[in-house]
Structure 1
Amino acid sequence: MNDSTNGNVRKRTRADEVDEDDDLMGKNGGGKGLKGLVTSLLLLDEQDKCEQDEQDRISVEAKISMEVNHRKKTKAMVDFYSEVQDYYSEVEESDRMKRKKSRLAANSVAVAAVSDGLQKIESEKSNKRGGDGGGGSGGGGGHHRRLWVKDRSKAWWDECNSPDYPDEEFKKQFRMGRATFDMICEELNSAIAKEDTTLRTAIPVQQRVAVCLWRLATGDPLRVVSKKFGLGISTCHKLVLEVCTAIRTVLMPKHLQWPEEETLRRIKEEYESISGIPNVVGSMYTTHIPIIAPKISVAAYFNKRHTERNQKTSYSITVQGVVDPRGVFTDVCIGWPGSMPDDQVLEKSALFQRANGGLLKGVWIVGGSSYPLMDWVLVPYTQQHLTWTQHAFNEKIGEIQKVAKDAFARLKGRWRCLQKRTEVKLQDLPVVLGACCVLHNICELGNQEMDTELLTELQDDEMAPEMALRSVPSMKARDAIAHNLLHHGLAGTSFL
């Protein structure tokens, strides 16, 4: 009995041990499975992190590569422009020496002519004192040199300069009324007036200014200007450059300068009343001026877009301008080659340097889609599938941009030399174009209305910049402006 009972106890104990071993094995197997699952998740996270790091590295390298290429292009363009400037400086120095030699030769001829004249007078006097009329007659029979001047008619200019000439006709010829013309003559008098000489009478200041204005207004060839004013072709060319230089030196500091603080406040208010966008101090645009193919660095001035549109090889230089709400220029940058896109022209301008120095902190200059978005340059949204808010913002930006486009259209319409390939040398063009901008301001401020027949249409292609976004804070500021415009009911009405 006891043995049987002990045997049963031993059997139960072994069975319990077996069950306990089975339970322990089950628990250990489950722990290993959970541990393997956690390890797999960690490996996947580590792999995702490595892939993300690799993508970030590739993105950074691409950005660095783009910036390096941009700097290389910029440096190449600056080096090229420096070479061009050096070349033209040498050419200008050579021309200056040639002109100096020509003046010396002309002076020698003039002195010889005067000397011959004095000798003739002295000879006649001595003949009168020493003998009768027959002797004087014999003394005058010899050949004497004289200075020859071609007789040209200036009847047209004399008629225009008459006090009875109608002011409307005068404005049609010279793009401004008589009073504005007289004001310009008075201010330029000290810079361009010449004195009479023993050989000839100096050209009056009024005629000098009129030659320049008529040439800029019509863009007609110098031979036509010569016939109109009764002057030589070379004289007309010289007068145009002299008067344009005087305009840049004397009138530009008075009529084309960045506004003072009080004027800027008024400009902000006027632009805000136009668009609802606050702190706008200017509207910016870049246009192209056609030129004759230069002798060097032709590719730099080649205008691909104009060539494709007109099916005719075109070369140009650029004029970048900022205008106030009245269309008056407050800043210009003139003379960079026509192959440069608008954003690169902006980077080369003095305005860009002044902005980096803090001049435009807290204010906006509005540009088109060819400019990058920066801390001080506000441009429209250019991506596809715009939201309602972005469409409304672009509508208001377009109203400000139209101010600059209309100003350039009036500039080119008023001074039609800007629509033609001029005969002026490339190194002299910035002076001529600067004079046109100053004269435009004088006419705009003087309320000189343009004939509708003079209005022209701009043909400038806006190319997207390589780096359209230069500042993340400016992107957030633009979004805030767009939201406020729509939220306060200041934009989006054209979509209703």
Structure 2
Amino acid sequence: MELLDFLRPALARLTRRNFGLSPEVQLLAALRFFATVSFIEVVGEGYGLSKTSVWRCVHTVTNAFLRHAGDYIRLPATRQEVQEVHQGCHAIAGIPRVLGLVDGTLIPIANPSVIDQANISRKGYAAINVQVIVDHRGVISDLVARWPSSTHDSFVWANSAVDEQAEREGFGQSLFLGDSGYPLRTYLFTLLTNPQTRAERAYNVAHVRTRNVVECAIGIWKLRFRCLHKSAGGLRKSCEGAYTLEFLSQKLTYAQRLASELICFSQLALNVLQHDQLLRVAPNWSPHLSSPGLYGQQNLSP
């Protein structure tokens, strides 16, 4: 109901025709599609909708979410927000000044219309490499979802807007925690490869305990939207780009958290569709060319 109140103005049908779909039906149909990624299952649920109507619901609801993407997917900006994240991360295992927890995950792609070796992951299936940053609550605050699965995590980080801002000391004394796949920086701490002293071992334990939050958050996200999980067959791609989906992330309440995850899920689908179209139109297109990042920011290219 909170999501419905949030989206009702954008979903109201401005028409005098009979049997216009209500905002309730549109939202329920779209959420059901996000959960199953199957038009047939939504049609068979008894909503009385055709496949075309379900597609329109998904398109309308997704774009309604996207208008609020900037309100949900953002790193802490005010002093109070930064202090809250610092305190929350410190309470987990005692590491101070942590602003974000970074991790990469593979999102499988089902039925790609263009087979590109850059999209074949080390596990043998087509996927894209997604970088996720969360806070101490597991709330997604930044997402980079435009690189093929063969791209290394360190490259994704180096070509992200967050790294660019961190290089300019835009986060002050705040830190990020990443695993061994990320480069060691003054603002990005990774695990010690060969800890020798008691203090070094204690640091590694605290690092793992704190970063466990982002791993759990990614697991919950994939289970909520099963098409992002390998067990469900992966994120399906449409040759015609039948639906446009973009970025979302979370806040404190469950409804806000769901809205934010929907935005992130939507951006994944959109980026997959755009990448697929570029490959079909320009076979020599390179994924390392620069492209707009989150909120229109221009990510760096090597």
Q: TM-score, normalised by structure 1?
A: 0.47
- Give the number of the structure with larger relative contact order, counting CA–CA contacts within 8 Å between residues 6 or more apart: 2
Q: How much has 1:373 moved relative to structure 2? A: 0.4
Query: Structure 1, residues 385-412: CA drift from partner, whole Å, max 9, x if none?
Result: 6443322211110011101111111111
Q: Are 1:258 and 1:331, in contact at CA under 8 Å, matched by a contact in 2?
A: yes
Give the distance between the partners of 1:324 and 1:431, measured in 2 at CA: 28
Alignment of 1:111-130 (within 5 A): none
Alignment of 1:25-424 (within 5 A): 182-198=1-17, 200-217=18-35, 219-228=36-45, 229-250=47-68, 252-259=69-76, 260-296=78-114, 298-304=116-122, 306-307=123-124, 314-383=125-194, 386-419=196-229, 420=232, 421-424=234-237
Q: How much has 1:318 moved relative to structure 2? A: 2.6
Aligned-partner residue type, residue 360 of structure 1: F
Aligned-partner residue type, residue 203 of structure 2: F
| Segment of structure 1 superposing worse, 229-238 or 326-335 | 229-238
Q: Are 2:105 and 2:130, in contact at CA under 8 Å, matched by a contact in 1?
A: yes
Q: How much has 1:303 moved relative to structure 2? A: 1.0
Q: Are 2:128 and 2:148, in contact at CA under 8 Å, matched by a contact in 1?
A: yes
Give the distance between the partners of 2:241 and 2:98, measured in 1 at CA: 34
Q: Measured at CA, do residues 431 and 355 of structure 1 come closer, stay the same or move farther in structure 2, by a change above 3 Å?
A: farther
Q: Secondary structure at the match of 2:235?
A: coil
Q: TM-score, normalised by structure 2?
A: 0.75
- Uncovered stretches (5+) of structure 2, i.e. residues with no partner: 259-302
Q: Are 2:66 and 2:246, in contact at CA under 8 Å, matched by a contact in 1?
A: no
Aligned-partner residue type, residue 362 of structure 1: Q
Q: Are 2:113 and 2:239, in contact at CA under 8 Å, matched by a contact in 1?
A: no
Q: Are 1:292 and 1:315, in contact at CA under 8 Å, matched by a contact in 2?
A: yes
Query: Structure 1, residues 356-415: CA drift from partner, whole Å, max 9, x if none?
Result: 2322231111011111101211110124x6443322211110011101111111111222
Give the distance between the partners of 1:239 and 1:258, measured in 2 at CA: 30
Q: Are 1:334 and 1:430, in contact at CA under 8 Å, matched by a contact in 2?
A: no
Query: Structure 1, residues 185-215: CA drift from partner, whole Å, max 9, x if none?
Result: 22222223222344x4321111111111112
Which structure: larger Rg?
1
Q: Secondary structure at the match of 2:236?
A: coil
Q: Are 2:101 and 2:177, in contact at CA under 8 Å, matched by a contact in 1?
A: yes
Give the distance between the partners of 1:409 and 1:416, measured in 2 at CA: 10
Give the distance between the partners of 2:150 and 2:257, measured in 1 at CA: 35
Give the distance between the partners of 1:430 and 1:442, measured in 2 at CA: 28
Q: How much has 1:429 moved relative to structure 2? A: 11
Q: How much has 1:246 moved relative to structure 2? A: 1.6
Q: Which has the higher strand share?
A: 2
Q: Secondary structure at the match of 1:425?
A: coil
Give the distance between the partners of 1:279 and 1:446, measured in 2 at CA: 24
Percent pairwise identity: 23
Q: Measured at CA, do residues 292 and 417 of structure 1 come closer, stay the same or move farther in structure 2, by a change above 3 Å?
A: closer
Aligned-partner residue type, residue 407 of structure 1: A
Q: Secondary structure at the match of 2:15?
A: coil
Give the distance between the partners of 1:430 and 1:204, measured in 2 at CA: 20
Q: Secondary structure at the match of 1:331?
A: strand
Aligned-partner residue type, residue 57 of structure 2: L
Query: Structure 1, residues 328-357: CA drift from partner, whole Å, max 9, x if none?
Result: 112122232111111111122221222223
Aligned-partner residue type, residue 189 of structure 1: R
Query: Structure 1, residues 67-94: CA drift from partner, whole Å, max 9, x if none?
Result: xxxxxxxxxxxxxxxxxxxxxxxxxxxx
Aligned-partner residue type, residue 162 of structure 2: L
Give the distance between the partners of 1:428 and 1:262, measured in 2 at CA: 42
Q: Are 1:334 and 1:434, in contact at CA under 8 Å, matched by a contact in 2?
A: no
What CA RMSD, in Å, does the superposition of the two structures yield over aligned residues?
Answer: 2.7
Query: Structure 1, residues 21-70: CA drift from partner, whole Å, max 9, x if none?
Result: xxxxxxxxxxxxxxxxxxxxxxxxxxxxxxxxxxxxxxxxxxxxxxxxxx
Give the distance between the partners of 1:227 and 1:344, measured in 2 at CA: 44
Give the distance between the partners of 1:427 and 1:269, measured in 2 at CA: 47
Give the distance between the partners of 1:359 and 1:430, measured in 2 at CA: 36
- Uncovered stretches (5+) of structure 1, i.e. residues with no partner: 1-181, 308-313, 448-496
Aligned-partner residue type, residue 174 of structure 2: V
